[in-house]
Amino acid sequence: MARSESEQPTELELEILKVLWEKSPLLVRDVRAGLEQADRPLPHSTVITMLNIMHRKGYLKRRKEGKSFWFWPASPKKSMMNRITGDIVSRCSNDWPKQCYSSIRPCGSSATASANCENSAATTLPAESTPLRQLSMFDTHERC
């Protein structure tokens, strides 16, 4: 029985996207070489299959030149990361700011650090570069 398609890229699809975000457009053999450099060697036929699946899902664009296809990401890395982060947030409960953020970035390992964090209503969120900070709805919520 076939596995249902996920709304977000699989682990392998993300590895392929990382190669293509680094440099694109690329031919199949170049994507395969990039995967090998990332310690993810795959047969040529598997890479072709994955690239075609990703194109069908809308993660990649492609252009045919002669007998070869050139592939590149359909969206920038930041856009995909925001989409994945948004999906994680939407799956959380009604108390999502506290629960999601705490599960992704714990306050501290010691009991004192955790207690201090839980009791602090004014704790700020991490730097602008973290995915959760990029979601504007986190701007008014406490860290823990």
Q: What is the pLDDT of residue 1?
A: 58
| H or E element in which residue 15 lies | helix 11-22
Residue 19 domain boundaries = 11-73
**Domain membership flag for residue 66:** yes
Domain boundary among 32, 52, 73: 73
Q: What is the pLDDT of residue 98?
A: 63
Closest CA to 134 of 78, 87, 61: 78
The count of structural domains within the chain is: 2
Q: Can you name the residues that pair with 69 across neighbouring β-strands?
A: 64
Cα–Cα distance between 92 and 136 in angstroms, integer? 17
Residues 90-122 pLDDT 10s: 777 556 666 666 666 655 554 544 444 444 434
Q: Are residues 15 and 68 in the same domain?
A: yes
Residues 122-137 pLDDT 10s: 444 444 444 444 444 4
Q: What is the mean pLDDT of residues 46-69?
A: 97
Cα–Cα distance between 113 and 106 in angstroms, integer? 10
**Domain membership flag for residue 6:** no
Domain boundary among 73, 91, 117: 73
Domain boundary among 22, 46, 73: 73
Q: Are residues 81 and 135 in the same domain?
A: yes
Cα–Cα distance between 144 and 63 in angstroms, integer? 47
